[in-house]
Amino acid sequence: EVEANKKSEIMKLICDFPSPKSLPDKYVLPPEKRPCNHELQGDLSVALPVIDLQGALGDGRRQVIGEIMEAGKEFGFFQAVNHGVGEDVIQGFREAAAEFFRMPAEAKLKHYSNEHNKHCRVFSGSVTSHTDTNDIRYWRDCLKLRCYPVDKLMHHWPSQPETFRERLAKYAVAVQELAQRLLRLIAEGLGLDSRFFEGDLTGGETMMNVNYYPRCPDPSLTLGIRPHSDRYILTVLSQGDVSGLQVKHKGRWIGVQPMHNAFVVNFGLQLEVRSHRITPPILWKKRVVVYGS
């Protein structure tokens, strides 16, 4: 019994489970919360806009701004290419993150916590409802950390694998710079000073979720993340080659096809609130559904 309890304590993350042949009961969602494939838009011509940000550096700036504003009004999302973040920086951090989840359970569990105020924590299978006594959970592991400003927060990050801190620092700085460039373009598109979103609006710490979706024995019974809207001003997502992301468009879900070296940019609720006071409402409705691979 002692050995069984010890084993149970170690296997807190899904990625440390023995490969299950069927989905454990506590990850089986009620029928009404399962993936609704019948609601998935089958028309492959409906896709997120792909915006080449390189044009914003020259004479095409107004055109790029217009494309971003239209994407916000129509989808609340777009895919950004030629964004200035080096492919080596993106892949370097993705590899370090994957290596983190491949480490032995004991090494990862040094960071395990359900305390939401921690600067860095690992957790698993977020609950579907805080009021449901059945404790049904989603199928994902997550490393959640505050990643910017780097010099203030780096000492909180995992020190293993050895490359993790160095690669995250490069990635966090590069993506922060991209986010600030995007916010300057959005501000101009709203008819504001390009520095409108600087200062107190974006001066806090930047949060990052490193989501890890172990292979699922039956994706039809569960989800990786609950349907949701991001509450922040802007989310910049590195989707990699993992399918499963969906967004809602005109009442139907559409799948977001992964693009090489692209970022999915998500307009958050705080940005919607700000734009409400400036221009006719720009509404952004979205959800994330990731089944894992």
The residue among 210 and 11 whose pLDDT is bigger is 210
Parallel, antiparallel, or unpaired for β 50-52 and 206-212? Answer: unpaired
Q: 259 exposed, middle or buried (CB, 10 Å; 0-12, 13-18, 19+)?
A: middle
Task: Tell me the per-residue pLDDT of 12-45, one tens digit each, with 9 for 90 and over.
Answer: 899 999 887 899 999 999 998 888 765 666 555 5
CA contacts within 13 A on the Cβ side of 48 = 31
Which residues lie closer than 8 Å to 79 by C-beta, 6 or more apart? 48, 49, 50, 51, 256, 259, 262, 263, 264, 265
Task: Tell me the per-residue pLDDT of 238-250, one tens digit each, with 9 for 90 and over.
Answer: 998 888 888 888 8
pTM over cut 0.85 = yes
- The CATH number that domain 1-15+31-289 falls under is 2.60.120.330
Task: Tell me the per-residue pLDDT of 158-201, one tens digit each, with 9 for 90 and over.
Answer: 999 999 999 999 999 999 999 999 999 999 999 988 888 887 66
Nearest one of 136, 137, 171 to 154, comparing CA atoms: 171
Q: Domain ranges in the chain? A: 1-15+31-289
Dihedral sign (CA 140, 143, 147, 150): negative
Cα 6 off chain centre by: 32
Phi, psi of 284 (to 5 degrees): -125, 115
